[in-house]
Chain A
Amino acid sequence: MIMKNRLSKLLEVVVFIFPALILLLIFVVIPALKTLSLAFLNAEGQFVGLLNFREVLLSNDIINLDRFPTKSPPWGALIHNGVWIAIHLPSVVALGMILAVILRDAWGGKVIKSIIFLGMITPMVVGGGIVTFIFDERSGVVNGILRFLGQDQLIRSWMVYPDTALLALILGSILLWTGFSLILYSSGLSTIPQEWYEAAEVDGASSIQKFFYITVPSLKPVTITVVSMSLLWELKVFDMVYTATGGGPGASSTVLALRMYSLAFRALDPNRSAVIATLLTVLTLAIGLLLVRSTTKIQE
């Protein structure tokens, strides 16, 4: 009886857990560990310690302090991701929060929300095409507006010039990603008790005061989620850059994920590509751990 019981317990674990466990080991865990080890080996498979890290971090492809910040890009992939974060992150947080408040009270707000969310449904490869199109010299709407405003010196296909390609990509990515923060903030807003606003109104608070003293602090858990998910996206951005510019011209819009890909599959240098992958993983893992810690703290 006990024997049979044990056997059926074992069978349960085999059926419920093993399929997932085996697939995760073969296709995620072991490859990730192999990449980690590649980062410490040279092309002949000998252990070289941190040599690859040194070479990658000191190369102009990753950090180019000769050009940053005084000259135009290329500034190196790591700095490009940093610039991406510096512009994209505050924009999507602010736009998402403000638009969530405004669209809640606006006529047809639901329709506008769906329009903004279109960018999240669109594959990012297509997003890269859309962004190139809106910044195209003759058919693009941005240049159409600039022409209308008489700013002819700015008219150009933004993606083909090193000084504007990265900026155009970042601006386009804000357009595509705001739908994400908007949806999260919209659902967060509905959890704030209406009485708080009514009490503030009794005290004579203005709309601006209500926004900064009630809405913003109440949405803090949502903000933590939006910030960390956006950071992860900004670090891993690949598809839209690949379609729009391929990282060019002259590496002026390349990013870490794209460098990793071209080192591995074009330059056939798995060791240096593994260094970039490892750096990316360290960064994303740190953000993931912070997110887990802060959400469990809030739940307590």
Chain B
Amino acid sequence: MKKKKFSWKQVIINIIAWTAGLIWIIPFMGILMASIRPQRELIHGWWKLDEVTISFDNFLNAWFHPTAPIGEGIKNSLIVTVPATILPIIIATLAAYGLMRLKFPGRRVLLVGIVLLLSIPQQMVAVPLFQTLLDFGILNTYQGLIITHTAWGIIWITIFMRNYLTTLPPEVEEAASLDGANRFQIFTRIILPLSLPGLASVAALQFTWVWNDFFMALITLYDPAKLVATQRIPLLKGQFSVDWGVLSAASLLVTAIPLLVFVLLQKYYVKGLIGWTSK
């Protein structure tokens, strides 16, 4: 379709596109440069290249930081994020299938209720949730944060998976039930394998959102040794003079994990985001 011949329009389009690319990469270049160069070279701007010393000291200093070690934060984030991705996927996919196939009183009310919950901000539950976790004895524990993320994940994953399951052909299920398979067998042997692409999208997004979460962690975890990675970033920034080298290195380390998820699952990630937000 595209014309191959030279045109001024094409030149202008490319100039705008690359200017935009430059504007958007500059902040990330800054973080990268600040993380691999010593403080004295950054003081008049990281873009000054008269003297360039590359060292990974900032990464080591961030990883083993005396008050907010990022290495420990990343470990804690993984302890929370992995179960807080797997559990809601299992529970919500069961619910999504149940809402689609099972006939029980209150089915529609439940579905509409979950759709309404999508719009509730986390601020609306913060104070009573704190009390609930305290009552259960899981305040300031990983379990408390995991179960909180699981409950919030269930909301969107149930709706997402319900939409996804309705696109599967019903014939395969009918054939299986004629063969005498019960609901649970149909679910595990037919529905789950067919849902794998949808589940990959959900996993990529839920993992990233839990990893990037700050608000829920702030409310549920306060023991310095238990803080997750995102909670340590404001601590590293401090109140007054900022050590940009250490903060940048820490930022890159914390961002590396969701970036890796995005690179590995890019297709599912983007599909999930588009499917999720436009349905």
Contact = CB atoms under 8 A, between A and B. Distances in A.
Given A121-B208, A257-B121, A277-B121, A184 B91 contact: no
Interface string B107-130: 000100011111111111111110
Contact of A126 (B2, B46, B233): B233
A64 interface: no
Contacts of B118: 288
B195 to A, nearest CB: 14
A27 B147 contact: yes
B164 interface: no
Interface in A134-162: 134, 136, 138-141, 144
B102 A130 contact: no
Interface of A: 8-9, 12-13, 15-17, 19-21, 23-24, 26-32, 34-36, 38, 99, 102-103, 105-109, 111-112, 115-116, 118-119, 121-126, 128-134, 136, 138-141, 144, 175, 178, 180, 183-184, 187, 194, 207, 221-222, 225, 229, 232, 235-236, 238-239, 242-243, 256-257, 260-261, 264-265, 270, 273-274, 276-278, 280-281, 284-285, 287-289, 292, 295
Contacts of A24: 114, 117, 151, 154-155
Contact of B42 (A17, A116, A139, A288): A139
Given A102-B16, A183-B274, A138 B121 contact: no
B59 interface: no
Contacts, number: 284
B279 interface: yes
Nearest to B98: A16
B237 interface: yes
Nearest to A101: B13
Contacts of A295: 278-279
A279 B276 CA distance: 26
B80 interface: no
B199 interface: no
Contact of B27 (A123, A141, A242): A141
B202 interface: no
B182 to A, nearest CB: 8
Closest 5 CB pairs of A and B: A288-B119, A16-B98, A106-B17, A27-B151, A20-B95
Contact of A19 (B95, B110, B128): B95
Interface string B240-260: 001010011001001100110
Given A23-B147, A102-B13, A280-B121, A144 B47 contact: yes
A195 B90 CA distance: 44
A119 B120 contact: no
Contacts of A99: 17, 20
B272 to A, nearest CB: 11
A238 B47 contact: no
B234 to A, nearest CB: 5
A133 B244 contact: yes
Given A102-B13, A257-B123, A15 B94 contact: yes
A238 B214 contact: yes
B121 to A, nearest CB: 5
B54 interface: no
Interface string B206-240: 00100110110011000000000010011001000
Nearest to B182: A8
Interface string B81-107: 000000000011011011100101000
B18 A106 contact: yes
Nearest to B247: A129
A284 B45 contact: no
B24 to A, nearest CB: 5
B44 interface: yes
